[in-house]
């Protein structure tokens, strides 16, 4: 008789656990166990006909598997799914398969076991375990052991009789006995054996990405055996190291999944039919999906009723077993992300809350309001994307009276003004960012209202608490049309006459908002995920490749395929072939770029990856690839996760196309490109527009000028709306077409003019306008001359329905995109795919991190996940064209092990000449005289000033008002002062150096509020001398950007603990910030504050790269001390700046409360509190840094000799060592991501001796001699 299923054993164990307080383990088999037992009043009896012995055995088995955990495994939070993945002892399959190492993976709901040997790896997932028809109670596993005597007869009996293997010969028996004999003392000997039947396909993959695969006969034979029908598989381990609790848990989880399918918790919650899993959420986007309660973090009773429950995340999976697992993981993660977003929306946007708004634009009945959102405690503001809709109810007017709470807003307003360009990706919380950002194209300004006859304003009413307001106006449908900052955005409404008085230009009023999350982006992602999971024809080769690619599995054989170049080039005309070859020659691609080009076009691989470190020309290469695809006859879709990224693609693509058109002018009419910015409205958006929202669905058209007027904008002629307008103009003026078509086109243009003039239009007129617009859009996209379409990944959904059918896809900045977002363009029928990005820069933003079980999976980009699998050809760009070597050296070493520099980066520009003139003049003395000696080479100073760290002494960070965004007044003061000094410096006329312009300076900071503070000071100090000011921008907005002179503000400087470093201990953001400058990089922060707790930053917070960065500054002496910067206050107005002493400045920085740190944190600080300990630790880090420098010099020498350098892909110095891994272990993940050689060198030399022996081996190092011990203090006369 068949044994009871695991679910029954789970219910039995649950019933007895209630009575005996037994220990429980995680799993899904007992999902309703507690309910069933409570309802029935006791344990569920075994199935009819079972013997009592069978029942008792089942109970004992369940107890063994569940004994480690307390409480109800399903219904009580415990903040864990299972123990971490554990390395086990050496294992050997009996017969010839010796020396394989195995590891359990229990961090997800689909357990696996991984085997590795000599850089080869294969994984057995639950699909590889066969459910047997035998009558043993387990039906999956058989287990046995041989005691310490290890007698041959017992070994033979176990394998031949219990496990049903073939007869063992004497060599096999001897090998097993030898394996189990550990020492002479027999009590330590013995073996434990686990047996099961392997089914389905098993693939081995080479995991050492630093070396080429080494053929292995053993691996070949083993894979052949495992793939030959069902294979009887035994795992042999030494008895002394068996972890019975982990073994039991892993087996239990395997049983549950094999019996119930993967992720069984969702069996009755999600449709398990491929392609239909999320049809409920596609139809009803706000449907709730239950959480796995055992993953919830336990919290105090006072917080148990809180809406926001904290959850730990399952481990992110790199390799997936099938498309069902792929769709479930991504779909569940995305649904929980949107559910958390809905909770945040409810907290921020409900009719009980009032937010400040200001009328910034009027055009007829169209009104735009800039809304500043009131922050809610302990809740991150949800993203407001373009197209988000609101119900808006008008509150009372705001009395025009300054308050302390308005001070920071006034800073921002004074700095930027109402019509100034705005950074569209600022973030108060660095762990969040919208997928689609607003377009940066300039919009036509409305005609100003006559100043001579203003309408009388209503008497201002006093401000009261939000709950006391009476709604004084009509409720409107509002739509977000622009983004200012994380907490401010622009809404558009169509007003009624009776409320006209509330909406005069410049009026400030309270508004009450109820927001409904825009479901379109997430619905597009779920549709794409579902579409990719569907079964495809085995003969559909491209689709099969994409599925292997998404699963992280080795790609199929390409022997039967033909390269894109061979297919397309032969079909070209001779003239086009000549233009193609000339264009490739004129691109002047370097060796790594050319290797990537050849890999894409001349290899047979349908999928390729390109890693592009900062400044290596990744985006330009993507554009070259797109043009070549178009020339070869492949319609190409080019996407990126944000408008900012796709804007960069458009810019370089236009430049490259002009080069091509110059070679063959006829191509200008044969290769067309179309650009969809985020604000563009596709067919599905038209369909979703309700009657009340017709006007909002058309506002993009209202704001776009005609092509002739827009030609000053480089992008405008390629925008979809511009092309639609131009198409109707051509039809209206073409008298050779049917008169009815002429009339329809002219009617469309007349309707557009009426919309621009703000005239009210009827419903039928608007519907006809929409229909004709969609038809025109389809006509443009289906035109055979349209070869390249550029769009954000999310906005590319629906292009196929509109007539554009891409055969090639390029995803730029894929490492910054979430995987569900990347799935949208991948769901097209494609022949060729190129994904490019850089996993060492910004990563996907997850709003629900810490609040759902699959946030780690959602935060892992497709690019990084597949890169770590090593299953797709990767081409790495290695030559930087942006940064001078002095700037590129350190981030190149820490992030990429080495980054080459093109000769052009060493060219001396006017910007550098101006800074050099300043540095060596009397104006620069105030900085140069305060430069430190090299910390580990007493008496020496460097002369290089391309990279300088300005140590703002005593600078501290804090938050203002209800904001969570840090500010640092001392840093802001130092930066503004530095900008003023540089701009006001006059070079010698005979040097013929162009003056430094504000546009050549960019200030980067990590925090939105610090942007406002710096901008305010810059405007105060430069007012009158300049009308254009340096751009101040956040780190999350600068990726892909660059400038000649960059001033980097490192805001965080906790006045109590320097190790509380903010989000910049995430090296990816620091890497972005440090790689934006072309000529000069000056950094501002409180280095002394961080240095006091350096060991805590490096060891406790796993930020070794940050520690090495600080050691590099100290070692080279690239530090200037600034001692007189104001710390506690800044001028609130220009009058204060000009007329008052610093002591009278009124914009004050509050002191933060002393943070509560953990006991471990406190002990770490206490253990690093003496000069000797600090010096010793810094010297250890210095030794590590010197090894990295030496290795980078080796790569440089190799590059100079051969034109290329074989640089390993991964250099993750912050990766902690697996606690279960000894020095000789080569686990797959650790081997793929192993660190550079950076161990601390042991030495018996005292610190003083080490200091004397320290030598910097850098060719460009120049010293100035001993420093002056007596430093003068910097003093600034602000009245000037």
Q: Which of 1056, 973, 1074, 982 is nearest to 1014 (CA)?
A: 973
Per-residue DSSP letter, 28: S
How many CA within 13 A on the CB side of residue 902? 19
Mean pLDDT, residues 219-236:
86
Tell how far CA 643 is from the center of its chain. 15
The structure tokens listed for 772 are 């004709």
Q: Report the pLDDT value the prediction gives residue 182, as an integer from 0 to 100.
A: 77
Q: Report the pLDDT value the prediction gives residue 406, as an integer from 0 to 100.
A: 52
Q: Which of 1182, 1186, 998, 1013 is nearest to 1084 (CA)?
A: 1013
Q: Given a cut of 50, is residue 811 above it in pLDDT?
A: yes
DSSP 169-185: -HHHHHHHHHHH--SSS
C-alpha to C-alpha distance for 789 and 825, rounded to whole angstroms: 12
Domain limits, CATH 3.40.50.300, in the chain:
539-691+708-719+784-879, 915-1209+1240-1253
Question: 805 near 784, Cβ under 8 Å?
Answer: no
Question: Where residue 713 falls among pLDDT bands split at 50, 70, 90?
Answer: low
Q: Report the pLDDT value the prediction gives residue 78, as an integer from 0 to 100.
A: 65
Cα torsion at 532, 538, 540, 543 (round to 10°)? 30
Q: Report the pLDDT value the prediction gives residue 400, as an integer from 0 to 100.
A: 59
Separation in Å, CA 724 to CA 654, 671, 734, 769, 774:
19, 17, 15, 12, 9
Question: 209 near 1210, Cβ under 8 Å?
Answer: yes
Q: Report the pLDDT value the prediction gives residue 386, as an integer from 0 to 100.
A: 75
Q: Given a cut of 50, is residue 825 above it in pLDDT?
A: yes
Q: For 210-226, b where at least 16 C-beta lie within 10 A, e where not — what string?
A: eeeeeebeebeebbebb
Question: Where residue 1178 falls among pLDDT bands split at 50, 70, 90?
Answer: very high
Question: Where residue 945 falls among pLDDT bands split at 50, 70, 90?
Answer: very high
Q: Report the pLDDT value the prediction gives residue 1157, as an integer from 0 to 100.
A: 82
435 vs 1182, higher pLDDT: 1182
Q: Given a cut of 60, is residue 516 above it in pLDDT?
A: yes
SS3 114: strand
Q: Given a cut of 80, is residue 211 above it in pLDDT?
A: no
Q: Which of 22-26, 611-615, 670-674 has the lowest mean pLDDT?
A: 22-26
Question: 92 near 98, Cβ under 8 Å?
Answer: yes
Mean pLDDT, residues 467-472:
44
Q: Given a cut of 80, is residue 1163 above it in pLDDT?
A: yes
SS3 770: helix
Mean pLDDT, residues 465-485:
66
Q: For 323-348, b where at least 16 C-beta lie within 10 A, e where not — what string?
A: bbbbbbbbbbbbbbbbbbbbbbbebb
Strand ranges (E), 106-169: 112-117, 120-125, 142-146
Q: Report the pLDDT value the prediction gives residue 1211, as an integer from 0 to 100.
A: 59
Separation in Å, CA 607 to CA 11, 330, 830:
48, 21, 10
C-alpha to C-alpha distance for 529 and 877, rounded to whole angstroms: 30
C-alpha to C-alpha distance for 765 and 583, rounded to whole angstroms: 48
Strand ranges (E), 1086-1205: 1119-1122, 1129-1130, 1147-1148
- Other CB atoms closer than 10 Å to residue 555's CB: what's the count? 16
Residue 837 bridge partners (DSSP): 611
C-alpha to C-alpha distance for 16 and 63, rounded to whole angstroms: 9
Residue 142 bridge partners (DSSP): 195
C-alpha to C-alpha distance for 390 and 215, rounded to whole angstroms: 61
- Only one residue has tokens 């010297």, namely 1179
Q: Report the pLDDT value the prediction gives residue 68, as an integer from 0 to 100.
A: 40
C-alpha to C-alpha distance for 336 and 356, rounded to whole angstroms: 31
Question: 835 near 661, Cβ under 8 Å?
Answer: no
Question: Where residue 1071 falls among pLDDT bands split at 50, 70, 90?
Answer: very high
The region that residue 1252 occupies, defined by phi over 0 for left and psi between -120 and 50 for alpha, beta otherwise, is alpha
CA dihedral for 649, 655, 656, 660, sign (positive or negative): positive
Q: Which helix H or strand E contains 596, and what residues bound it? A: helix 591-601
Residues 6 or more apart in contact with residue 98 via CB below 8 angstroms = 92, 175, 179
Q: Which of 525-539, 637-651, 671-685, 1055-1069 has the lowest mean pLDDT?
A: 671-685
Question: Where residue 57 falls among pLDDT bands split at 50, 70, 90?
Answer: low
Strand ranges (E), 188-245: 191-198, 204-206, 231-238
Q: Which of 447, 462, 465, 457 is nearest to 502 (CA)?
A: 457
C-alpha to C-alpha distance for 971 and 1127, rounded to whole angstroms: 8
Q: Report the pLDDT value the prediction gives residue 1089, as an integer from 0 to 100.
A: 92
Question: 193 near 234, Cβ under 8 Å?
Answer: yes
Q: Report the pLDDT value the prediction gives residue 1251, as an integer from 0 to 100.
A: 30
The structure tokens listed for 148 are 């310490």
Mean pLDDT, residues 501-509:
83
- Only one residue has tokens 């039991």, namely 248
Per-residue DSSP letter, 786: E
Tell how far CA 149 is from the center of its chain. 56
Question: Where residue 245 falls among pLDDT bands split at 50, 70, 90?
Answer: confident
C-alpha to C-alpha distance for 621 and 605, rounded to whole angstroms: 18
Per residue in 90-106, pLDDT (tens digit) is 333 334 477 888 888 87
Q: Which of 43-52, 468-477, 738-747, 769-778 has the lowest mean pLDDT?
A: 43-52
Q: Which of 52-56, 334-338, 872-876 has the lowest mean pLDDT?
A: 52-56
Average pLDDT of the chain, as a whole number: 79
Per residue in 1230-1257, pLDDT (tens digit) is 333 333 223 333 333 333 323 322 222 2
SS3 134: coil
Q: Which of 1033, 1022, 1064 is nearest to 423 (CA)?
A: 1033
The length of the chain in residues reads: 1280
SS3 52: helix
Question: 349 near 371, Cβ under 8 Å?
Answer: no
Residues 6 or more apart in contact with residue 1217 via CB below 8 angstroms = 1230
C-alpha to C-alpha distance for 516 and 350, rounded to whole angstroms: 10
Question: 1067 near 1214, Cβ under 8 Å?
Answer: yes
The structure tokens listed for 798 are 């629906």
Q: Given a cut of 80, is residue 88 above it in pLDDT?
A: no
Residues 6 or more apart in contact with residue 414 via CB below 8 angstroms = 1016, 1019, 1020
The CATH code that applies to domain 915-1209+1240-1253 is: 3.40.50.300
Residues 6 or more apart in contact with residue 398 via CB below 8 angstroms = 356, 460, 463, 508, 509, 510
CA dihedral for 69, 73, 78, 81, sign (positive or negative): positive
> Given the DSSP bridges, would you call strands 808-811 and 636-640 parallel, antiparallel or unpaired?
parallel
Q: Which of 1121, 808, 1125, 820 is nearest to 951 (CA)?
A: 1121
Q: Which of 285-289, 471-475, 712-716, 1250-1254 has the lowest mean pLDDT?
A: 1250-1254
Q: Which helix H or strand E contains 1074, and what residues bound it? A: helix 1067-1074
The structure tokens listed for 1178 are 């810094």
Strand ranges (E), 432-584: 475-485, 488-494, 508-516
Per-residue DSSP letter, 1099: I
Q: Given a cut of 70, is residue 46 above it in pLDDT?
A: no
Q: Report the pLDDT value the prediction gives residue 1059, as an integer from 0 to 100.
A: 83
Alpha-helical regions (H) of 870-987: 885-896, 910-920, 922-928, 969-984
Q: Distance between terminal CA atoms of the chain?
A: 96
Residue 91 bridge partners (DSSP): 100
Question: 817 near 435, Cβ under 8 Å?
Answer: yes
- Only one residue has tokens 């609101």, namely 390
CA dihedral for 213, 219, 223, 224, sign (positive or negative): positive
Q: Which CATH topology does 539-691+708-719+784-879 take?
A: Rossmann fold (3.40.50)
C-alpha to C-alpha distance for 793 and 837, rounded to whole angstroms: 14
Alpha-helical regions (H) of 363-519: 407-416
Q: Which of 298, 384, 324 is nearest to 70 (CA)?
A: 298
Q: Which of 316, 264, 258, 320 is nearest to 123 (CA)?
A: 320
Percentage with pLDDT > 70 across the chain: 77
Question: 492 near 479, Cβ under 8 Å?
Answer: yes
């Amino acid at each position: 008789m068949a044994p009871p299923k695991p679910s029954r054993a789970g219910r039995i164990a649950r019933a007895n656990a209630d009575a005996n307080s037994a220990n429980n383990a995680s799993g899904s088999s007992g999902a309703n166990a507690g309910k069933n037992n409570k309802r029935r009043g006791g344990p569920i009896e075994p199935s009819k006909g079972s013997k009592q012995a069978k029942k008792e055995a089942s109970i004992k088995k369940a107890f063994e598997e569940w004994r480690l955990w307390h409480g109800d495994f399903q219904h009580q939070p415990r903040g864990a799914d299972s123990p971490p993945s554990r390395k086990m002892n050496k294992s050997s399959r009996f017969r010839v398969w010796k020396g394989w190492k195995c590891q359990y993976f229990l961090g997800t709901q689909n357990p696996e076991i991984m085997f590795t040997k000599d850089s080869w790896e294969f994984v057995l997932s639950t699909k590889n375990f066969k459910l047997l028809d035998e009558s043993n109670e387990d039906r999956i596993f058989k287990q046995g052991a041989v005691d310490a005597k290890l007698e041959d007869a017992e070994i033979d009996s176990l394998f031949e009789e219990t496990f049903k293997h073939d007869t063992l010969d004497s060599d096999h028996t001897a090998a097993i006995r030898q394996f189990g004999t550990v020492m002479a003392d027999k009590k330590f000997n013995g073996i434990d054996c686990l047996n099961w039947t392997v089914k389905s396909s098993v693939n081995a993959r080479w995991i050492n990405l630093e070396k080429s695969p080494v053929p292995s006969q053993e691996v070949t034979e083993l894979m052949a055996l495992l793939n030959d029908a069902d294979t009887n598989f035994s795992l042999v381990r030494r008895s002394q190291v068996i972890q019975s609790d982990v073994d039991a848990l892993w087996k239990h989880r395997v049983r549950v999944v094999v019996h119930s399918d993967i992720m069984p918790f969702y069996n009755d919650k999600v449709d398990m039919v491929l392609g239909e899993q999320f049809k409920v959420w596609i139809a009803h986007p706000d449907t709730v999906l239950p959480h796995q309660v055992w993953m919830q973090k336990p919290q105090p009773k006072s917080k148990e009723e809180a809406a926001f429950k904290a959850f730990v995340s399952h481990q992110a999976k790199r390799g997936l077993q099938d498309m069902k697992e792929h769709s479930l993981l991504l779909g569940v993660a995305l649904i929980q992300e949107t559910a958390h977003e809905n909770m945040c929306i409810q907290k921020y946007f409900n009719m009980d809350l009032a937010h400040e708004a200001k009328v910034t634009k009027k055009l007829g009945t169209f009104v735009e309001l800039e809304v500043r959102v009131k922050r809610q405690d302990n809740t991150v503001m949800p993203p407001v994307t373009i197209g988000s809709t609101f119900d808006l109810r008008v509150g009372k007017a705001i009395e025009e009276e300054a308050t302390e709470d308005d001070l920071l807003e006034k800073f921002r307003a004074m700095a930027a003004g109402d019509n100034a360009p705005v950074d569209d990706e600022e973030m108060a919380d660095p762990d969040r960012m919208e997928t689609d950002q607003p377009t940066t194209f300039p919009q036509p300004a409305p005609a100003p209202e006559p100043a001579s006859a203003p309408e009388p304003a209503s008497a201002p009413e006093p401000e009261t608490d939000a709950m006391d307001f009476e709604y004084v106006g009509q409720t409107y449908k509002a739509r977000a049309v622009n983004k200012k900052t994380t907490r401010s955005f622009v809404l558009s409404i169509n007003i009624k006459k009776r409320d006209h008085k509330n909406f005069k230009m410049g009026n400030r009023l309270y508004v009450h908002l109820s927001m409904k999350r825009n479901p379109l982006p997430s619905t597009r992602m779920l549709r794409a995920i579902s579409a990719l999971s569907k079964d495809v024809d085995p003969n559909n080769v491209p689709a099969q490749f994409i599925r292997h690619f998404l699963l992280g599995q080795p790609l199929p054989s390409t022997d039967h395929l033909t390269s894109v170049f061979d297919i397309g080039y032969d079909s070209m005309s001779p003239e086009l072939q000549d233009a193609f070859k000339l264009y490739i020659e004129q691109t002047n691609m370097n060796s790594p770029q050319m290797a990537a080009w050849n890999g894409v076009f001349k290899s047979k691989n349908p999928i390729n990856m390109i890693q592009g470190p900062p400044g290596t020309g990744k985006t330009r290469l993507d554009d070259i690839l797109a043009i070549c695809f178009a020339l070869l006859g492949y319609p190409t879709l080019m996407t990126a996760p944000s408008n900012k990224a796709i804007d960069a693609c458009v810019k370089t693509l236009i430049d490259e196309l002009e080069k091509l058109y110059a070679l063959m002018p006829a191509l200008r009419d044969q290769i067309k490109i179309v650009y969809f910015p985020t604000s563009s409205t596709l067919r599905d958006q038209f369909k979703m527009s309700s009657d009340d929202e017709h006007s909002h669905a058309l506002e993009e058209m209202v704001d776009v000028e005609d092509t002739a007027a827009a030609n000053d904008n480089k992008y405008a002629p390629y925008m979809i709306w511009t092309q639609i307008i131009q198409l109707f103009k051509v039809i209206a003026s073409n008298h050779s077409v049917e008169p009815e078509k002429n009339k329809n086109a002219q009617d469309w243009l007349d309707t557009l003019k009426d919309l621009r003039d703000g005239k009210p239009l009827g419903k039928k007129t608007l519907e006809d306008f929409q229909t004709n617009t969609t038809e025109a859009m389809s006509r443009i996209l289906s035109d055979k001359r349209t070869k390249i379409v550029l769009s954000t990944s999310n906005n590319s959904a629906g292009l196929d329905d509109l007539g554009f059918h891409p055969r090639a896809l390029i995803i730029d900045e894929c490492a910054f995109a979430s995987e569900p977002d990347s799935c949208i363009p991948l769901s097209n029928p494609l022949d060729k795919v190129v994904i490019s990005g850089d996993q060492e820069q910004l990563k996907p933003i997850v709003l629900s991190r810490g609040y759902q079980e699959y946030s780690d999976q959602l935060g892992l980009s497709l690019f990084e996940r597949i890169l770590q699998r090593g299953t797709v050809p990767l081409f790495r760009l290695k030559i930087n064209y942006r940064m001078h070597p002095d700037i590129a050296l350190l981030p190149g070493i820490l992030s990429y092990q080495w980054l080459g520099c093109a000769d052009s980066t060493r060219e001396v520009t006017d910007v550098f000449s101006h800074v050099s003139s300043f540095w060596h003049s009397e104006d620069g003395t105030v900085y140069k005289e305060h430069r430190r000696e090299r910390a580990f080479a007493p008496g020496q100073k460097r002369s290089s000033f391309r990279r300088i760290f300005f140590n703002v002494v005593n600078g501290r960070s804090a938050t203002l008002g209800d904001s969570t965004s840090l500010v640092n007044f001392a840093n802001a003061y130092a930066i503004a002062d530095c900008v003023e000094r540089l701009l006001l410096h006059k070079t010698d006329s005979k040097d013929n150096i162009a003056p430094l312009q504000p546009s050549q300076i960019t200030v980067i900071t990590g925090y939105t509020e610090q942007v406002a503070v710096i901008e305010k000071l810059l405007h105060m100090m430069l007012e009158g001398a300049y009308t254009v000011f340096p751009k101040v921008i956040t780190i999350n907005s600068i990726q892909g950007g660059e400038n000649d002179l960059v001033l980097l503000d490192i805001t965080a400087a906790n006045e109590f603990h320097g190790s509380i470093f903010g989000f910049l201990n995430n090296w990816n953001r620091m890497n972005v910030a440090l790689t934006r400058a072309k000529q000069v990089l000056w950094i501002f922060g409180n280095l002394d504050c961080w240095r006091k707790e350096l060991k805590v930053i490096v060891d406790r917070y796993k930020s070794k790269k940050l520690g090495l960065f600080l050691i590099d500054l100290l070692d080279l002496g690239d530090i200037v001390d600034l001692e007189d910067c104001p710390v506690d206050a800044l001028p609130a107005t220009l009058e204060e700046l000009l007329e008052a002493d610093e002591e009278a400045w009124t914009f004050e920085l509050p002191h933060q409360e002393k943070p509560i740190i953990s006991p471990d944190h406190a002990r770490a600080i206490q253990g690093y509190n003496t000069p000797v300990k600090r010096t010793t630790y810094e010297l250890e880090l210095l030794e590590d840094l010197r090894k990295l420098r030496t290795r980078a010099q080796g790569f440089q020498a190799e590059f100079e000799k051969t034109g290329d350098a074989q640089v390993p892909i991964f250099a993750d110095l912050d990766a902690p060592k697996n606690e279960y891994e000894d020095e000789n272990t080569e686990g797959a993940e650790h081997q793929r991501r192993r660190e550079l050689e950076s161990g601390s060198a042991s030495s018996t030399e005292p610190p003083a001796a080490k200091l004397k022996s320290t030598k910097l081996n850098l060719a460009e190092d120049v010293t100035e001699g001993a420093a002056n011990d007596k430093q003068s203090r910097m003093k600034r006369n602000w009245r000037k």
